[in-house]
Structure 1
Amino acid sequence: MIIKKPESKEEFEQIFKLNYETFVEEIPQHEARQDRKLIDQFHSKNNYLIAVKDEIVIGMVSYNTQRPFSLDKKKVEIDSLIPEGAKVVEIRLLVIDKKWRKTRVTFQILKKLFELVTAQDITLGFISAASGRLDFYKKIGFVPFGEMVGKQGAFYQPMYINESSLHNIFPK
C-alpha cells in the first residue's frame, strides 16, 4: 500500500465512488444518484491523499486551508478558537473502504496528512466528526466543541486538534 496524492482521472473517479458509498449509502447525508458518484462541494479547493493497493483506492482524506470551511457554511463558530496568526486546516472526508477499516490504513493516511500539514506550519485543524466515530477522534487528540450539526442519520460533531496533540500521536 502507498499513500500519495491522486494523479489520474481514474483515481479521482475512485474517490468519488468511495465518497458515495460512505456519505450516501452508509451515512445518509446526501441523496442517491444513478451514477453512484459523490463529488464534494469543496472539490476544487481540496487537497487529497489516497491509500492505494494494487491500483485500487482503498482510503482517502481531504484537507484545505482556504476559508470558508464547511464548518463556516454550517454556521459553526470557529474564529474564537483560532489564536492570532495561526494557520489552520479543515480535514474532511476521511473514508476507508469497509474491507480495510480494521487495518493500519487509517493510521498511515492520517500520519501522512499530519506530516504534510505540520510541514506547512499549520498548528490547528478542524473536522466534522461523524457522531458514530467520536471515540476514535477523541482517542487521537481531537477535542469536541459546539453543538452537533447535520440531520437525522448524519449528525457531525465539530472538533479541533492542535499541534501539540498532533505531535503526541505522530512524533517527529
Structure 2
Amino acid sequence: MNGKPYGQPSVSARAVRRAAERETEKRVSKPTLAVAAPRMSFGHQHAEAFCLMWYACECGHRERIWNSRDGVTAFGFQCPSCKEPKLKHVNWGLDKYAPDHVPAPGQRIWIDLTRDRALEIARRTVDQVAKGKLPEGADLNRIADAVYNGGMQPDLVVYGYVEAS
C-alpha cells in the first residue's frame, strides 16, 4: 500500500486542470461557425460581444479580457510582459458570454474608442513618426478621424485606472 486512502494514487488539481486545458486546445484549435453561431443568438451583431476572452503570448503571459461592447476586438496586440506584439486571442471556444460581468480593478477591458482618445493616439503616432513636428490642425484631425473610424474601433483600457493629470 502506498499509505493513501483506498490505495488510490492522488492526482493534483493542477494536473487535472492542465489535462483539461490540453484536451480543450486539441478540440478547439480554430474558431468554427458551430462555436460562433450560439453566441450570435444573444441578439448582438458580433460574436465576441460582451464576452470574456482569453489572450496568450509566446512568453507565457495569459489574461482574460472582457469586451464591454457589441463590436469586434483586436485579434492580437502588444504583450504587457514582454512588450512584443504577440498577445493573441486564443481558445475561442472558451469565450464566455458575460453581459453582466463586473471587471476587477486592474483587469483590461475593450471599450468604444472616443474621439478624444483617437486624437491623442493620432498626436502620439505623428509625434513618433515626425519627431515632434505636428502637422497643421486640419491634418491632425484627418488622422484622428481615420483612427476613430466613426466610433467603430475598440480601445483597450485598464479598469479602475485613472491617469493622473
Q: TM-score, normalised by structure 2?
A: 0.26
Q: TM-score, normalised by structure 1?
A: 0.25
